[in-house]
Amino acid sequence: MVRREGWSSGRDGSREVWQTCAVNCGSRCALRLRAREGEILWTETDCGDEEPGNLQMRACLRGRALRYWLGSPDRLNEPLRRVGPRGSGQFEPISWDEALDEIAERIRDTVAQWGNEAVLLPYATAIWSGSGSPFERLMNCYGGHLGIYGDYSCMQLQTACMSLYGDDGYYTGSLLSEASHADLVVFFGANPALTRMGGASGAHRLAQAREEAAREGRPFRVIAIDPCQSDAATGESDAWIPVRPGTDAAFVAGVAWVLITEGLADEEFLHRYCIGYDGATMPAGAPASESYRAYVLGEGPDGVAKTPQWAARITGCPSARIASFARELAGARRAFIMQGWGPQRTALGEQSARAICLLSLLTGNFGLPGTNSGARERLFRPVLPDDPVGENPVDVAIPAFLWSRAVERGRALTASDGVRGAARLPSPVKLIINHAGNALTNQHADVNRTHEILADESLCEFIVGIDVMMTDSMRYADIVLPDVAQAERDVLVSSGNSDGVRGVIVAASWGGNAFDRRCAWDVARDLARRLGVEEAFCEGASTLGEMDGLRLRESRFAHDDEALRELAERGIVRRPYEGETVAYAAFRRDPEGCPLPTPSGKIEIYDQKIAELLAADPGLPVSSIPAYIAAPEGAEAALVGPYPFQMISCHGRQSAHSSFANVPELAVVAPRRLSVNPVDAERLQLVSGGLVVVENDRGALVCRVRVTPRIMPGVVALPEGAWHDADMWGDRLDWGGCANTVSSDEPTAWSHGNPHNSCLVRLRPLTDAERAEAARREAAGRGEVAR
């Protein structure tokens, strides 16, 4: 079908192959490797021609550090069986046969005793980056497994978009390059300069748009509304408006007050396209006093006018700045309003997400060139379908974030906790297959509490881990299997998050199966044989190569001879997207002919389903309109409780989550630091580079400080992804600086999502004993503590 190797073979026995960076930053950039005997000699990337719409799938610093990552001393090389307590990291090597016999037996026994619902494949994102999970296929052939729905990325925003627009907004945002037709770009907690670093991403197009505007003398302003002056707000922005985490809905209400009272709201748009804005647009039976306008003007049940002064007290943003922003927004010819996923990854993130979208509606910046829906920029469906995993015969599913509660509470978990397909969980989770994820501990939440749940072998009885590194999650596995990394295999890979670029790369193996590693697909097939379902497992495609052929035949390139020829000759092909680039353009053009998939066919600022829920339980922390609600670990609580800092854990430049986080070379280029405002640092006598303990009731971690005016006072930011490193049978102080040592696992009330950015902490200096331990660790040659 396609040529895989020998693009250029060197006399030294080396050869050059295409590969991809397949970790979950989601961009799946192209890598060009020269390798010899399983070692990468150098790394290049996509250097092909580019034009607008067909950008290079250029790799960032992480992808280019692939050789350091995959060559790390943390690499798994042989199958292991746990010999110490769960989490202790004590293992003994075993043979593949021993490992697979035991796993097959445990799967068989668990299903026989507890049913298929007792088997969980938890949220794990490294496998999404090119192919489906062979273990999901395996379990689907063997009667199924407990399903999960949603994700850790944008559960609350998806719920918000379902409520407003009737779809989850994942694939319906505008392309970021559409911003080049706007004169004002507004980013709420969006940092594409860091989260979309691949060359084909919208961040790059945005930079080009700015240059174009400057050349042509057109106005083009970027404003970032964020507790941090993120990279989006330095390289790109003209203005940074700091707001406290979780307070976006209050900020928007303050802006709305100015727009409404100064006659700047686009009422014509609101009346034609939306329900719930004011008394005239309320659904039948809903009182006018519950409209968004009434809420803002103080004519609603709380009787409080949401003036900029009111919003300033909550958000920490001066009222004059709220008002000037409102006027600038109203004065823009076209505004492109977009949110990242930081604001919604909070305890009441659904409200923040809906409120931010509302700004697009209040100003009519919706469905027209140069505008967006207020949600994130559009994600693209990959050109190639994933490996088919078949249908899961079990139709019971839980929210992805709730897996640890499903282990802990078993049958006590009910539909009100988010269980779908049954009134309550039919069985507790007894067996976990964790393939390519570090979200058992490190990337989940409240690591110390989760440790208790996992360490209790009477709850989940058996855990299999399949990974490339000995991560913290792998330490909880009863059997650990060493995988050949996706970036080491023969595989067809689709381009990922991009600004419309649709690409395919013929990635070729270069020596990942050194030592005693085996590719997960072959392992799952061996297990299928042991479980008597090999025939079903191999149906349609019995090897990964055949699977790739299938995926290509089902792709949009299947009948594009020119693209196929290019792929065969060059090993890589990319084409620009040529469809609609503006979110909801058809609805804007013809709202009656192309209604939205909402109950009213219009945009639902007022959510009747939520109103019904509230009628049944007025105490629920949700609102039928995008109102601000104070969160238990929010801005107000920080002012009065024992933990005065709001800690957000944004995504880092050094790593994609915990992947690459163990690469010292990247830590030198982009060290992981806790950002602290100079005002707070002076009070607490913190200096840049110094160590500090971050703690709350849930745990304590050690990290290094960066004193910077690029974060607002009262807020600290620690990039997630650091490897948890604590003595779980001792003081549990986390020397690795993993944000989830202190984060909360309390799911959000509406969508049961992860609230990572709602986390109150205090900072304290290290004790003398901790200082001595830090010195001991550094002298022991483990490098700088808290890289």
Ligand X SMILES: Nc1nc2c(c(=O)[nH]1)N[C@H]1C(S)=C(S)[C@@H](COP(=O)(O)OP(=O)(O)OC[C@H]3O[C@@H](n4cnc5c(=O)[nH]c(N)nc54)[C@H](O)[C@@H]3O)O[C@H]1N2
- Please give the residue ranges that form the binding site for ligand X (CB under 6 A): 23-26, 124-126, 152-153, 188-191, 194-195, 197, 225-228, 230, 243, 245-246, 248, 340-343, 345-346, 435-439, 443, 466-469, 471, 483, 485-486, 520, 648-653, 656-659, 717, 720-721, 739-740, 743, 756-757
Structure tokens at 368: 């027209």
Nearest residue (CB) to Mo ion, 28 versus 210: 28
What is the closest distance, in whole angstroms, from the C-beta atom of residue 665 to ligand SF4 in the complex?
A: 14
Report yes or no: 378 and 128 within 8 Å, Cβ to Cβ.
Answer: no
* Nearer to Mo ion (CB atom), residue 127 or residue 638: 127
Give the nearest distance from C-beta 261 to ligand X in angstroms. 24
Of 157, 186, 197, 356, the one binding ligand SF4 by CB under 6 A: 197
Q: Looking at beta carbons only, is 290 or 446 nearer to ligand X?
A: 446
Q: Which of 17, 35, 55, 60 binds ligand SF4 (CB under 6 A)?
A: 60
Q: Are 499 and 200 in contact (CB under 8 A)?
A: yes
Distance (Å, whole) CA 24 – CA 740: 18
User: Minimal distance in Å, beta carbon 508 to ligand X?
Assistant: 15
- The answer to whether 291 and 606 are in contact (CB under 8 A) is yes
Tell me how far, at minimum, the Cβ of 172 lies from ligand SF4, in Å.
23
**For ligand SF4, which residue of 17, 35, 55, 59 counts as binding (CB under 6 A)?**
59
Q: Which residues contact 487 (CB under 8 A, 6 or more apart)?
A: 19, 20, 21, 22, 31, 66, 70, 507, 512
- How many whole angstroms separate alpha carbon 756 and alpha carbon 778? 30
Q: How far is the CB of 383 from ligand SF4 (least distance, A)?
A: 16
**Nearest to Mo ion of 124, 610 (CB atom):** 124
Q: Does residue 87 interact with ligand SF4 by CB under 6 A?
A: no
Cα(307)–Cα(734) distance, integer angstroms: 43
The residue among 27 and 658 lying less far from ligand SF4, judged by its C-beta, is: 27
Is the dihedral angle over the CA atoms 261, 627, 349, 639 positive or is it negative?
A: positive
- CB-CB contact of 771 with 370 (8 Å): no
Q: How many other β-carbons are positioned within 10 Å of the β-carbon of residue 257? A: 23
The whole-angstrom distance between residue 355's C-alpha and the CA centroid of its chain comes to 20
Residue with smaller CB distance to Mo ion, 124 or 487: 124
Q: In the complex, what is the shortest distance from the CB of residue 686 to ligand X, in angstroms, rounded to a whole number?
A: 20
| 443 alpha-carbon distance from chain centroid | 11
Cβ 339 to ligand X shortest distance, Å? 7
Instruction: Let me know how many helices (H) and strands (E) the chain has, helices first.
Output: 25, 26
Among Mo ion, ligand X, ligand SF4, none, what does residue 242 contact (CB within 5–8 Å per kind)?
A: none
For the bound state, the minimum distance from the C-beta of residue 437 to ligand X, rounded and expressed in Å, comes to 4
Rounded CA-CA distance 298/300 in Å is 6
Question: What 3-state DSSP class applies to 733?
Answer: coil
Q: Which of 153, 174, 495, 758 binds Mo ion (CB under 5 A)?
A: 153
Instruction: Using CB under 6 A, count the residues that bind ligand SF4.
Output: 13
* Binds ligand SF4 (CB under 6 A): choice among 32, 34, 62, 145: 62
Radius of gyration of the chain from Cα atoms? 26
Nearer to ligand X, 123 or 587 (CB): 123
CB 693 within 8 A of CB 764: yes
Asked whether 606 and 624 are in contact (CB, 8 A), the reply is yes
**Min separation Cβ 509 and ligand X, Å:** 12
C-beta closer to ligand SF4: residue 25 or 742: 25
d(CA 722, CA 720): 6
Please say which residue, 547 or 739, places its beta carbon nearer to Mo ion. Answer: 739
d(CA 341, CA 291): 26
Q: 192 or 349: whose CB is closer to ligand SF4?
A: 192
Stretch that binds ligand SF4, among 57-65, 332-340, 521-529, 722-730 (CB under 6 A): 57-65
Helix axis angle, 349-362 to 248-261, nearest 10°: 20
Which range in 23-31, 96-104, 388-396, 777-785 contacts ligand SF4 by CB under 6 A?
A: 23-31
Comparison of 43 and 494: residue with beta carbon closer to Mo ion: 494
Tokens of 181: 């037709």
Which of residues 91 and 152 has its CB atom nearest to ligand SF4 in the complex? 152
Binding marks (x or -) toward ligand SF4, 628..657, rule CB under 6 A? ----------------------------x-
> Cα–Cα distance between 770 and 495 in angstroms, integer?
46
Name the minimum Å distance from CB 403 to ligand X.
12
Q: How far apart are CA 280 and CA 77, in angstroms?
A: 67
Candidates 17, 29, 693, 759: give the one binding ligand SF4 (CB under 6 A): 29
Distance CA 307, CA 254 (A): 5
Quote the least distance from Cβ 222 to ligand X, whole Å: 14
* Residue 25 or 603 having the CB closest to ligand SF4: 25
Closest distance to ligand SF4 from the beta carbon of 659 (Å) = 8
Partner in contact with 177, chosen from ligand X, Mo ion, ligand SF4, none, beta carbon below 5 to 8 Å by kind: none
Output DSSP code: residue 719: -
* Euclidean distance between CA atoms 756 and 116, whole angstroms: 31
Cα–Cα distance list, 63 to 36, 104, 238 (Å): 19, 35, 30
Least separation, in Å, of the C-beta of 192 and ligand SF4? 11
Stretch that binds ligand SF4, among 19-27, 454-462, 595-603, 673-681 (CB under 6 A): 19-27
Where do runs of H (alpha helix) occur along 664-737? 664-669, 678-684
C-alpha dihedral over 342, 348, 352, 358, to 10 degrees? 140
User: Smallest distance, Å, CB 633 to Mo ion?
Assistant: 21
- Say how many residues make up the chain: 787
How far, CA to CA in Å, does 663 sit from each of 64, 78, 506, 691?
Answer: 12, 21, 26, 20
Nearest to ligand SF4 of 27, 153 (CB atom): 27
- Residue nearest to Mo ion as judged by C-beta position: 153
Residue 436 site contact among Mo ion, ligand SF4, ligand X, none (CB < 5 to 8 Å, cut-off depends on kind): ligand X
- What string marks each residue from 540 to 579 as x (binds Mo ion by CB under 5 A) or -? ----------------------------------------
- Residue 285 makes CB contacts below 8 A (sequence gap 6+) with none
**Nearer of residues 240 and 557 to ligand X, judged by Cβ:** 240
Q: Could you give the CA distance from residue 638 to residue 383 in angstroms, rounded to a whole number?
A: 46
Binding site for ligand SF4 (CB under 6 A): 21, 23, 25, 27-29, 59-60, 62-63, 197-198, 656
Binding site for Mo ion (CB under 5 A): 153
